[in-house]
Amino acid sequence: MTDVPALTFNGDLPGDDAEVLRLRECSTEPIRTIGAIQSHGILFAIDEVTGVVVAASANAESWLGRDLREAGSEMVTWSIGHGVAVDPVRAEFEGTLYDVIAHRGTSPLLLELEPVVPELEYVRTGVVGAIQRLAGISDPDELRREAAREIKRITGYDRVMCYHFHDDAHGQVVADEREPDMEPYFGLHFPASDIPVQARSLYIEKRSRVIADTEDAGTPIHTLLPEESPLDLGLTELRAVSPHHLQFMRNMGQASTVSFGIVMNDQLVGMFTCAHRTPRRIPVLLRRALEVLASQVASQLASAEQIRKLRRQLESRERRIALTAPLYGRADAGTVLMSGERTVLDVVPADGAVLRLGDAVETVGVVPPPERLFAVVDELGPGRFRWEALPIERPELAVEIPGVTGLLVVPLGSDGDRLVFVRSEVARTVEWLGDQRPENRDGPLSPRRSFSAWQESVMGRSLPWGDHAQDAYDLGEDIRSAMAARTQAELAELALRDALTGLHNRRYLDDRLDGLLSGTEKAVALVFLDLDDFKIVNDTHGHEMGDAVLAAIGRRLSGVARTTDVVVRLGGDEFVIVCVDAGPAEAAAVASRALAAITEPIVLRDVEIRVHASAGVVAAERGATASELLDAADAAMYRAKRGGGGRVSA
């Protein structure tokens, strides 16, 4: 499934200062209270209590101050009391047939009358069939394209485009169904000021907008209302058009348009715009039906986007798990993340990455000198940081790390651990709907004169991080979790280890024996070892040397034990070897090797120390407990000592 590629400019558009000025100017334009309607219809504002007309378009000015219910048609009167904007009433008024639209809930009540368009009746348009045909399309690109094609067939307009609004509010033509002799606009970008924010916000409240004739200067509204209470026309069908936008349309060769908002989660993400080279309008019921079609498209796009997000989240999660799983073991974190079969660059595509964990720094790919990079990163302080145009957005930082245009900083803890991704500059060519430079405008605030495709080279930017930024943050969380779990596991392991020798301790032995004796069919035997006259070593050489001897003996015992055996320091100078899947003979062989290893001279600080030991061997009988087995092995060891020591006893 493909979708509109991510492309953001963060305000760095051609003629950036002029674009900001246009956006500011557009934001102050009173489009909701413009004080006029398009001339093909009639508008009344009625005091709902008295029925008196308190405002009216100039073509119905004679009704100002009169009770519309007294002399209006029966159907018009009925619509005042019962009609709603989504369900116009067909009525005759002063000899002309109108679609009457009553906006319930406004104060005063707004009543619009649109002359009927007899040659384009709603019942013959086939909107329901179009919705059914579109319902089975899951690919967003195909859906937009086919929807534009259906709308063009239904409405008869010369051109139907679908716009997509990017995160930074600039737009792009993502579908363009047109007559063969018309210039193509597909794929072209346009600045946010073409459809400013207050115009877009109206599509959240009202999903369609008609402009019937760009040569229509509009019909003013006369009012009895106080000057400080201008009439809000935001929800009306007939609201007039700003002169700036009319000139914009004429420059594009458009004599009329109708647009339908694509709204997802209360956000305008795009729209369908129908354009015609001569004045044209379509009935309100058809517009309502096409609003439903646009809503259906929005729902399908939202579903497709949700599926896309879930799919890529799953794929990203699988890549992160594959990368971080070894961190839960004893593998070196830097090696796992930066130089293993998979690296962090398999999760977040970048030119390179630098990892700092404690005093260790690891790199992968092409990166600046880590000390220079971290000098910049540390200056930023803790937290996440993300740039796609560092030389433009933070030139004072970019000069310290030449060649880095995209920077993504992921904190891994509160002690300065960081994972930093870098990207270099990528030159791109963007095609705009019309030359964006001042030469194509009469003035900074004027619309473009020409809308032919114009190419611009975008420099000083890396590829956008997009969804990969969240992948990086999620990877950071995974690394933190793995390292925390690893620390906890290490602490738990330490609780079961003897600090001096590194062997397992008495606590571990008890748990291990209980498990072996109660949950396995394998034979278990114990070798109990005690050093003979070890007190002499401590008295002669000191306890520090004695501890070193015990540590050396622990290493020797681990060396002679089988891979399935468990070597334990029980305490003091006592050791136990748990022989798994072994009978008395195998355990006795292990004990003999252990005694031989212990008696080998131990050289510490040029001092040769000789130690001997006694061993008791016992095999577990069915039903024996851990304490019984240990007592029996201990007793066997003492028999060996009483026999002269330095031997094995069963």
Residues belonging to the active site: 573
* Residues linked to residue 276 through DSSP beta bridges, in sequence order: 256
Contact between residue 400 and residue 327 where contact means Cβ atoms under 8 Å apart: no
Spell out the residues 6+ positions from residue 519 whose beta carbon is closer than 8 angstroms to its own.
Answer: none
> What does the buried/exposed string (b/e) look like for 73-84 if buried means 16 or more CB atoms within 10 Å of the residue's CB?
bebbbbbbeebe
Contact between residue 188 and residue 453 where contact means Cβ atoms under 8 Å apart: yes
Rounded to whole angstroms, how far apart are CA atoms 354 and 389? 19
CA atoms within 13 A on the CB side of 40: 22
Tokens describing residue 303: 């579903």
* Residues linked to residue 492 through DSSP beta bridges, in sequence order: none
* Residues linked to residue 607 through DSSP beta bridges, in sequence order: 604
The 3-state DSSP class for residue 579 equals strand
Give the 3-state DSSP-derived string for 571-588, with helices as H, strands as E and coil as C: ECCEEEEEEECCCHHHHH
Omega of the bond leading into 395 within 30 degrees of 0 (cis): no
Which of 421, 42, 18 has the alpha carbon at shortest distance from 192? 18
The alpha carbon dihedral of 395, 396, 399, 401 has a sign of negative
Rounded to whole angstroms, how far apart are CA atoms 364 and 366? 7
499 phi and psi angles, rounded to 5 deg: -65, -30
Contact between residue 376 and residue 401 where contact means Cβ atoms under 8 Å apart: yes
Query: How far is the first Cα of the chain from the last one, in angstroms, to the nearest whole number?
Result: 74
Strands (E), 225-371: 256-264, 267-276, 352-357, 360-365
